[in-house]
Amino acid sequence: MRVAAVGDIHCKKGSQGVFQALFGAMAAAADVLALCGDLTDYGLAEEARVLVKELAAARTTPIVAVLGNHDYESGEVDQVKAILDDAGVTVLDGDAHEINGVGFAGAKGLGGGFGERALQPWGEDVIKRFVRETVDESLKLESALAKLRTTQRVALLHYSPIRETVEGEPYEIFPFLGSSRLEEPLLRYPVTVVLHGHAHHGRPEGRTRGHVPVYNVCLPLLLKVAPGSPPFRLIDLDHVPA
């Protein structure tokens, strides 16, 4: 199976016609489209309606997605998700989905930082709640992975589970770009590949501590690292680098 992945589309009210060529090219190249969050710019239902019209260029190609922080901005996330669902997009939020024998598990994720410098649940209640939210997102991903019985598994996130793919961003904002807690389920449950977005100025690829490839498929990053090429990542699951 070939998966075409992109994140951080940031579809706006005036984006009619902007993404049709991209989604058409993705559908022509792959068997499944994977969208890694920040699908809308301000999390508006109106933006989601524009997006599904653009996605019509992918026709009958299955589409799986997770939402990102921008999709939550305006408090219309339930409407955004419903619009995508009605258009046939499978939005994963702690869910698992199987397509032609390949399992997809996804969650938005959250921040908190990486390794020994990760934020700890100590001190003010607001800090404890933030860490709890990240732990909950990690548990969502773990629950989704645990449901899969397929040999090949693809994990979708918006926030990064490793530091390597956010390097290039200002060091000061690393804690807001991902969390090592999101890596923990990926070490307990074997996956073929991990996809995420969010880090616009990060690195395009890295690996978990279990040596699983992690791809940052943020649209602005792909435009920068491969100018002139269609801005999506194409992964052949039968030929993922070991």
pLDDT band at 48 (very low <50, low <70, confident <90, very high): very high
- Locate 81 and state its tokens: 């998700």
Report the pLDDT value the prediction gives residue 59, as an integer from 0 to 100. 83
Report the pLDDT value the prediction gives residue 241, as an integer from 0 to 100. 86
Longest dimension (CA), the chain: 51
What is the crossing angle of helices 45-55 and 77-86, to 10°?
20
Mode of pairing for the β-strands spanning 32-36 and 63-66? parallel
Report the pLDDT value the prediction gives residue 117, as an integer from 0 to 100. 86
Per-residue model confidence as pLDDT tens digits over 146-180? 999 999 999 999 999 999 999 999 999 999 999 99
Tell me what the pLDDT averaged over the chain comes to: 96
Look at the alpha carbons of 143, 147, 149, 151 in this order and tell me if their dihedral is positive or negative. Answer: negative
Rounded average pLDDT over 94-117: 96
168 CB-contact burial (10 Å; exposed 0-12 / middle 13-18 / buried 19+): middle
Cα distances (angstroms) measured from residue 6 to each of 159, 171, 195: 13, 24, 9
pLDDT band at 242 (very low <50, low <70, confident <90, very high): confident
* Angstrom distance (rounded) from CA 44 to CA 216: 25
Q: Please give the domain boundaries of the chain with CATH numbers for all domains.
A: 2-239 (3.60.21.10)
Per-residue model confidence as pLDDT tens digits over 58-85? 988 999 999 999 999 999 999 999 999 9
